[in-house]
Chain A
Amino acid sequence: MNTQLKTLKILLLLTALLLTGLTLVLKLQPASVEARIAQGDPRVGGDFTLTSATGPVSLSDFKGQVVVLYIGYASCPDVCPTALAVLTQALGQLDQSQREQVQGIFISVDPERDTPEKLAQYTAFFSPRLIGVTGSKEAIDRVVKQYGAFYRRVEMGDSALGYAVDHSSRLYLIDRAGKLVDTLPHTTSPDALSLLLKQLLANQG
Chain B
Amino acid sequence: MKRFSTLLTALCLSSSIAYAADVSVEQPYARATAPGQANSAAFMRLVNNGAATALVAADSSAAEVVELHTHINDNGVMRMRKIEQIELPAGKTTVLQPGGLHVMLIGLKQPLQEGAQIDLNLEYADGSQQQIDVPVKRVAPAAGMPMQMQRQSQGGE
Which A residues form the contact surface with B (CB < 8 A)? 32, 74-79, 81-82, 85-86, 89, 118, 121-126, 150, 154, 156, 158-161, 164, 166-170, 185-191
- Residues from chain B with a CB closer than 8 A to the CB of A169 are 76-78
Residue B45 at the A interface, CB < 8 A?
no
B residues lining the A interface (CB < 8 Å): 31, 33-41, 64-65, 67, 69, 71, 74, 76-82, 98-99, 102, 104-107, 138-145
Identify the closest chain B residue to A161 (Cβ): B106
A85 close to B140 (CB less than 8 A): yes
- Prevailing SS type, chain B contact patch: strand
Give complex CA distance A123, B91 in Å.
41
Contacts of A125 in B (CB 8 A): 33-35, 37
Q: Are B102 and A77 interface neighbours, CB within 8 A?
A: yes
Whether the Cβ atoms of B31 and A78 lie closer than 8 Å is yes
Cross-interface CB contact of B99 among A79, A156, A164, cutoff 8 Å: A79
Q: Top 4 closest A-B pairs, CB basis?
A: A125-B34, A160-B65, A189-B143, A159-B82
Among B36, B141, B142, residue most surrounded by chain A Cβ atoms (within 10 Å): B141
Asked if A75 meets B67 with Cβ closer than 8 Å, knowing A81-B139, A150-B77, A189-B142, the reply is no
Residue of B71, B80, B138, B145 contacting most chain A CB atoms (<10 Å): B80
- CA distance in complex: A75, B107 (Å): 11
Q: Are A82 and B143 touching (Cβ within 8 A)?
A: no
Closest to A80 in B: B78
CA distance A168 to B76 in the complex (A): 6
